[in-house]
A and B are shown apart, each in its own frame.
Chain A
C-alpha cells in the first residue's frame, strides 16, 4: 500500500512571537494535525500494512526545513510544489488532486485543518474533486478486506461515529488519533540522504488562482486584569453583567 501525506508548514503555535509583528519571524513547524497524519502513516507502515509514504507540501524553499523534519520522522520521500503564493483551500486541493492522480496512492491521510487559518476544507474539497470517499476528524483507522476498505472512527459533536469507506480514500486526522514521535538525531542524519523532488504548477499543468483574499489580520484584544470577588452572589452578578456569559 502507498500512503500520501500532504502537509503544511505553519507558524509554531508554541512560539510566543506575534504573527505579523514587525522584525520578527516566528519559527515554522509542520502543522500539528498533519504531523499526526505523518505519524499514523508511519505506524501503518511499521505494522506492515504500507510499503511507501510520500509527503507533499506546497511552498517556497524555506519549507524544506519542515520537509526534512517529515523525512526525519521517517517518510520515504517528499515532493515540494514550488509556489510561494498564499493559496486558498480550493487552490491547494486542485494542486494536490493533480499530484494524487500522478502518484496514485491507496490512501491519503492529512490533517483535518491547518492551525494557521483553521479552514478545514482541503480534505473535503480534495475528496470532491477526486470523487473519492472521505472520512474526516478521524481518531482511529483500521484496514479491512485485504486493504480494500478502511474502518474509521470519527469524532463528531454528537459522539464517536464508526464508518467504513472504500479505498482509495481521503482521511483527515483529529487530535486523538496518536501522539507524533519526535525527530531523532539518527533520523535527521538519514533524512539528509533522502531526496526532495521539486515541481512547479506549470510542470503539473495546473493553473490556480486564489478565490479568496485576506484583507487584514489583527491581534486578539488584550486580556484585562482579573478582579477578586468576595462572594458567590457577586461572582454570579459579574458573570451576568460584566462577562455576559450567564
Chain B
C-alpha cells in the first residue's frame, strides 16, 4: 500500500491550494449574509480546471482519477472558505457531470461537457419532490412521450443551483405502475418552455449556494434529451448518488483540517488564568478529537476513491464515508466554536458559518438515517 503522492499529484494539489487561497476568499461573509452566489469565482474555478477534474480530456476535462480528484477537492476545501460555492460545484459535478459522463450519448457529451467543465455552464439535478424525499423513487413527476418530445409535469424542491442552472438532470416517471423501472432522466435546459424556476429558497447554511423550487407544466423536452435509457433513471441516479456520497464531502475534510489549524493557533494564543487555553486538558482534548476525526475521515475518503479508481463497487464504502464525514464535520465545528468561546459564536471569526454549512451534510445525498439503512442492508441486516 502506497500512501505517497506522486510528484505530479503534489504539484497539482499545490496549484489548487495556491489558486483557491488567492482567488476565492473575497466577500465570503457578505455573500453568506445576503445569500449571494459568486458567479465570478465559479468561472475562475472552471478556468482553473476544478469542474472538469473527472471529465475525460476529449470533452474538455482533465481526465483525473478519482483519488486525485478527491484530493484536489479536499485541498480546495482547505484553501477556500466559501463552503456554499464548493457545495454548488459538488452538486454540479456529481449530479450533472457524472450522469453525462456515464450515460450521455456522444452528442450529449459533446454538447454539454466542455461548457460544464470550463465554468460557462452550470448544472444540477431535480429529484426531490414535496412528497418524495428519502423515498426518492416514489416520485410523482410524469413524462409522457408525444411524437419526438417528452412532456413533463410535476414539481421539484431543493434544487441546488436551480436559480442559476443552465442544465438540469430531471427525474420523472414514464409509467408510475412500473415503480423504479419507470423512472427516466432528462436533460432540461434553462428557459425550456413549461419549466418554471420559481421561489429561491432561503436556508440555514451553504447560503452562497443558490437553491430553488422548479415546476414543470407541459414542459417540452426533445427526445434526444433523454439521458440514458427510458426507465434507466433509477440506475443512473443510484450510480451518481454513489459517486456523490463518496466524494461530496472531500472539501469538508479540507475544511476540517483548516478548523483544526485555526483551533490550534487560537488555543496557543488565547490566554486565560495566566496560561494558553491549549494547556487546559479539556481544551486540548477537543483538539485531539478534531485531529482524530480529520485523519479517520481522510482515510475513508481516500480509500473509497482508491477503490472506485480500481473499478471496485463502493456502494457500502461511499455510504460509510458520507455518514462518517458529515457526523465528524458537524462535531468539529461545534468543538471549534466551543474552543473559541464567545468569539467563535461571532460571524467575523468565521467559525460559526462552518457549523451552519456543515449541518446540511447530514441531509443531502441521502440523510444520515438513509446511509445507516444502506450500511445495515449491506451487512445483511
A56 to B11, CA, bound (A): 20
- Measured as residues with beta carbon below 8 angstroms from the partner, the interface class of chain A is 10 to 19
A182 to B11, CA, bound (A): 13
Distance (whole angstroms) from the CB of B300 to the closest CB of chain A = 25
Is A238 at the interface (CB under 8 A from chain B)? no
Binding stretch for chain A, among B18-26, B105-113, B162-170, B349-357: B18-26
> Which of chain B's residues have a CB closer than 8 A to the CB of A68?
11
> Which of chain B's residues have a CB closer than 8 A to the CB of A72?
15
> Which of chain A's residues have a CB closer than 8 A to the CB of B47?
184
Nearest chain A residue, comparing its CB with the CB of B44:
A182
Distance (whole angstroms) from the CB of B227 to the closest CB of chain A = 26
Tell me which residues from 148 to 194 in chain A have a Cβ below 8 Å from any Cβ of chain B.
Answer: 182-186, 188-189, 192
Q: Is the CB of A182 within 8 A of B62?
A: no
**CB < 8 Å neighbour of A185 from B22, B23, B53:** B53
Dominant secondary structure at the B interface: helix
A235 to B64, CA, bound (A): 60
Is A103 at the interface (CB under 8 A from chain B)? no
> Which of chain B's residues have a CB closer than 8 A to the CB of A65?
11
Q: Is the CB of B48 within 8 A of A185?
A: yes
Q: Is the CB of B18 within 8 A of A182?
A: yes
- Known A184-B49, A185-B49, A185-B53; contact A192-B15, beta-carbon cutoff 8 A: no
A219 to B256, CA, bound (A): 34
Q: Is the CB of A182 within 8 A of B8?
A: no
A72 to B16, CA, bound (A): 13
Binary contact readout A186-224 vs B (1 if CB under 8 angstroms, 0 otherwise): 101100100000000000000000000000000000000
> Which of chain A's residues have a CB closer than 8 A to the CB of B11?
65, 68, 188
A189 to B8, CA, bound (A): 9
Q: Is the CB of A183 within 8 A of B62?
A: no
Q: Is the CB of A183 within 8 A of B15?
A: yes
> Which of chain B's residues have a CB closer than 8 A to the CB of A192?
8
B side interface size, CB within 8 A: 17
Nearest chain A residue, comparing its CB with the CB of B21:
A14
> Which of chain B's residues have a CB closer than 8 A to the CB of A186?
49, 52, 62
Distance (whole angstroms) from the CB of B319 to the closest CB of chain A = 29
> Which of chain B's residues have a CB closer than 8 A to the CB of A183?
15, 18-19
Nearest chain A residue, comparing its CB with the CB of B72:
A185
Is B12 at the interface (CB under 8 A from chain A)? yes
Residue of A65, A68, A72, A184 with most partner-chain B CB within 10 A: A184
Distance (whole angstroms) from the CB of A71 to the closest CB of chain B = 11
Q: Is the CB of A189 within 8 A of B22?
A: no
A182 to B21, CA, bound (A): 11
Q: Is the CB of A189 within 8 A of B18?
A: no
Q: Is the CB of B48 within 8 A of A184?
A: yes
> Which of chain A's residues have a CB closer than 8 A to the CB of B48?
182, 184-185
> Which of chain B's residues have a CB closer than 8 A to the CB of A185?
12, 15-16, 48-50, 53, 62, 72
Distance (whole angstroms) from the CB of B51 to the closest CB of chain A = 10
**Additional A-B contacts beyond A182-B18, A184-B49 (18; CB < 8 A):** A72-B15, A182-B19, A182-B23, A182-B48, A183-B15, A183-B18, A183-B19, A184-B15, A184-B19, A185-B12, A185-B15, A185-B16, A185-B49, A185-B50, A185-B53, A185-B62, A186-B62, A189-B62
- 21 A-B pairs (CB sep. < 8 Å): A65-B11, A68-B11, A72-B15, A182-B15, A182-B19, A182-B23, A182-B48, A183-B15, A184-B15, A184-B19, A185-B12, A185-B15, A185-B16, A185-B48, A185-B50, A185-B53, A185-B62, A186-B49, A186-B52, A186-B62, A188-B12
